[in-house]
Chain A
Amino acid sequence: MNVDAVNAALLQSNELLPEALDISFKPIPAVLVIAMLALFLVVGYLFKVADTEGMWVAGRSIGNVENGMAIGANWMSAASFLGLAGLVALSGFYGLAFIIGWTAGYFVLLIFLAAQMRRFGKYTAPDFVGDRFNSDTARALGALTTILIGFVYSVGQARGMGLVGLYVFGTDYATMVLIMMAITVAYLTLSGMMGATKNMAVQYVILIVAFLAAVYVVGLTGGYSTVLPQIEYGALINDLNSEFSEPFANSSFFLWIATAFSLVFGTCGLPHVLVRFYTVENEKVARQSTVWGLFFIMILYWGAPALAAFGVDLYDASQYGPTYAAEGGMSGGEGDLIVVLAAQLSSLPTWFVGLVAAGGIAAAIATTAGLFITASSAVSHDIYTNIINPDATQREQVLVGRATIVVLGAIVSVTALDPPALVGELVALAFSLAAIVLFPMFFLGLWWENTNRQGALAGMIVGLTIWVAAVVNDLIVPFSDLYGQVFPAIGAALVGTPLVFAITIAVSKATEEPPEETKRMVRQCHSPEPMSRQESAEDVATDGGETPADD
């Protein structure tokens, strides 16, 4: 099958309603979900910012483990909790590209970006682009990309929450999407003073307990596995259809590589991931919490293929199977819900399935909250305060931020009513955008001091154009087969990212070098001297004229 056929097959299978799902109002799961939301608010209240004077005197730091959990919760959305197993279930071997893509990126982040970003020390991702390239246009492009990423990513979350909500509360998909998004937006307006990192750690614990419970209990009751379902599911491989287990049966080698590439480098370009590194104590904590974060993420990812395999086998055996039937078979909606479905098809009690569903909602809310705040800061801080109205008061910033969240929430809800792709695929689109537009700016900006404004602008504009064209071609109005082959929307970064690198470097070389102060700032990000807490690269670069040694 070629790329187009895969996309067509995935789109055709995208019926919204999961037929096999038991859709009705269930009291115990509903109480579980509501109790979980209440817990978030209580934790937030207990750890709200205490009003004290002189806050710049020492305070308590966030440790590696806690920060790692926050990274995990921020990272693992409905796409990881639901979509990953769904993609593996629906497209077998191709789904593994997502598991590899969504974890391997952390190595690039660890080696090339985490500590250096901490040294640069700014507030938002567009801040970095704007300050590093001395350009408000670059800042605006960075902010626009950030908002687009937040939008596409959140549509996936809204779809996931709507589907899970169906199991818990019944009604219909559209109502559930609207209710769940309303809850998320309300939660955000309440969470201003809330214990950000503490709450994320709680969200992480809920989602990982729910997921592992699903993997272990489904494995045990189905007789698939005992202590290590992550490995034991291998015994099932030969029994499952070859569409599940045969490499490159559902998608070409090129699409596999392109997807994995996009996800790896998209990870390193996602604004809501990078901001976590700005605020840690120092670059050492930045590195250590990256490793902890990856570990906490792997705990879920090791289990996802196992749960997908159990789910496919259970689905085959159920009245709805076989999974890969030419007519019927597992729909997109059912794939997205395979985590919940597997528990339901194992005839487990509703409270248990409800726990799994609550985990899915926790994952979606945690990530959507992070994305919406990133988008609101892109509008309120980067566009409004930095470009439009430098005298903006704090109250105006709050107003602009809240308006952004409400408007974005409305657009996301409407789009999610009829989403063009699966949860995992929608989220992957955001990654390919981050990999094409933002990753080259972060990487070159931190590692090559001669990258200048003209190069960055040229690179970002080309990158944005490539991505928009790829999405239009794949999902909205197909205009070229060849373009779709080279730039599949999900994997557009494989060709797109190197192209943006080349253009940025070529234009930077052809135009004037950036000012000396900018170069010093870049060098300071790599200084072997451990940084003191108060310093950012900018301070050091403006204070001292000497050039620190390169590392």
Chain B
Amino acid sequence: MYDDILVPTDGSDTAEAAVDRAVDLAAKYDATVHALYVIDVDAVNYSLGTEQVDRIRQGHLDDMPEVKQGADDATGYVADAAAAAGVPTEEHIRAGQPALAIRDAIDEIGADLVVMGSHGRSGISRALLGSVAEKVLRKTKIPVLVVDARGEE
């Protein structure tokens, strides 16, 4: 049924709430787990400055050890969980707008299922931050399993 399961993560508890389900599904279907971290260009712009966006465009991520570390930690968490269950994993890092980058990753990897966490935000915080899970749902044709972090506690 599933061969390549994509697990987008930003390293937050919300994102990690989805990891167990993804690994469980992968084990059942002998699928590969693809952990994906997207370096959010907006976050780089607002928090590190516009010049650092240039740095990413130039491919100098190695000049930004803290950013790379954050990405490696986030995908590493997924890889560790998968390894513990004996499931093969691949780690991916991309830069761009999260929802768009996830869509492109789905095409490139040929993923057939996305498992991701969501805050279940509503009201003002949803208007301000939006929901990446919601945008991914709208942008892709493959099934998306959204795990609401609040329901997992």
* Chain A residues in the interface with B (C-beta under 8 A): 49-62, 121, 123-124, 191-193, 195-197, 275-276, 278-279, 369-370, 373-374, 376-377, 380-381, 385, 393-395, 397-402, 404-405, 533-534, 536, 539
B110 at the interface (CB under 8 A from A): no
Which residues of B lie under 8 Å from residue A55 when comparing CB positions?
Answer: 39, 56, 59, 61, 93-95
In the complex, are the beta carbons of B62 and A51 less than 8 A apart? no
Which residues of A lie under 8 Å from residue B20 when comparing CB positions?
Answer: none
Return B58 CB to nearest CB of chain A, in Å: 4
Excluding A55-B39, A395-B43, A533-B63, 10 further A-B contacts by CB distance (< 8 Å) are A52-B94, A53-B92, A56-B59, A59-B59, A60-B59, A123-B48, A373-B50, A398-B42, A401-B45, A401-B46
Closest to A195 in B: B57
In the complex, are the beta carbons of B40 and A398 less than 8 A apart? yes
In the complex, are the beta carbons of B51 and A275 less than 8 A apart? yes
* Chain B residues in the interface with A (C-beta under 8 A): 10-12, 39-43, 45-65, 68, 92-97, 100-101, 104-105, 108, 128-129
Return B135 CB to nearest CB of chain A, in Å: 13
Question: Once the chains are docked, how many angstroms separate the CA of A195 from the CA of B95?
Answer: 14
In the complex, are the beta carbons of B41 and A124 less than 8 A apart? no
In the complex, are the beta carbons of B40 and A394 less than 8 A apart? yes
In the complex, are the beta carbons of A395 and B129 less than 8 A apart? yes
In the complex, are the beta carbons of B108 and A60 less than 8 A apart? no
30 CB contacts below 8 A, A to B, read A50-B57, A51-B96, A51-B100, A55-B56, A56-B59, A56-B68, A59-B57, A59-B59, A60-B57, A123-B48, A193-B53, A195-B57, A196-B54, A275-B49, A279-B60, A279-B63, A370-B50, A373-B50, A377-B47, A381-B47, A385-B47, A393-B10, A394-B39, A395-B12, A398-B46, A398-B129, A401-B47, A402-B128, A405-B46, A533-B60
Which of A56, A124, A534 interacts with B48 by CB under 8 Å? A124
Question: Once the chains are docked, how many angstroms separate the CA of A297 from the CA of B12?
Answer: 45
Which residues of B lie under 8 Å from residue A395 when comparing CB positions?
Answer: 10, 12, 40, 43, 129
Return A521 CB to nearest CB of chain B, in Å: 14
Return A542 CB to nearest CB of chain B, in Å: 11
Q: Which 7 A-B pairs have the closest CB atoms?
A: A401-B46, A59-B59, A51-B96, A394-B43, A56-B61, A192-B42, A380-B47
Known: A51-B96, A51-B100. A279 touches B54 (CB 8 A): yes
In the complex, are the beta carbons of A196 and B62 less than 8 A apart? no
Known: A56-B68, A196-B53, A533-B63. A377 touches B46 (CB 8 A): yes
Which residues of B lie under 8 Å from residue A377 when comparing CB positions?
Answer: 46-49
Question: Once the chains are docked, how many angstroms separate the CA of A399 from the CA of B128?
Answer: 7
Which residues of B lie under 8 Å from residue A124 when comparing CB positions?
Answer: 48-49
Which residues of B lie under 8 Å from residue A58 when comparing CB positions?
Answer: 59
Which residues of B lie under 8 Å from residue A536 when comparing CB positions?
Answer: 63, 65
Closest to B66 in A: A123
In the complex, are the beta carbons of A374 and B43 less than 8 A apart? no
Return B98 CB to nearest CB of chain A, in Å: 8
Known: A51-B94, A193-B97, A393-B12. A123 touches B52 (CB 8 A): yes
Which of B50, B58, B61, B68 interacts with A62 by CB under 8 Å? B58
Return B59 CB to nearest CB of chain A, in Å: 3
Closest to B46 in A: A401
In the complex, are the beta carbons of A192 and B45 less than 8 A apart? yes
Which residues of B lie under 8 Å from residue A397 when comparing CB positions?
Answer: 43, 46-47
Which residues of B lie under 8 Å from residue A191 when comparing CB positions?
Answer: 45, 50
Which residues of A lie under 8 Å from residue B55 when comparing CB positions?
Answer: 279
Which residues of A lie under 8 Å from residue B101 when comparing CB positions?
Answer: 51
Which residues of B lie under 8 Å from residue A50 when comparing CB positions?
Answer: 57, 96
Closest to B119 in A: A395
In the complex, are the beta carbons of B49 and A57 less than 8 A apart? no
Question: Once the chains are docked, how many angstroms separate the CA of A60 from the CA of B58?
Answer: 5
Known: A49-B96, A196-B53, A279-B54. A402 touches B62 (CB 8 A): no
In the complex, are the beta carbons of B10 and A49 less than 8 A apart? no
Which of B46, B49, B68 interacts with A123 by CB under 8 Å? B49
Question: Once the chains are docked, how many angstroms separate the CA of A443 from the CA of B12?
Answer: 39
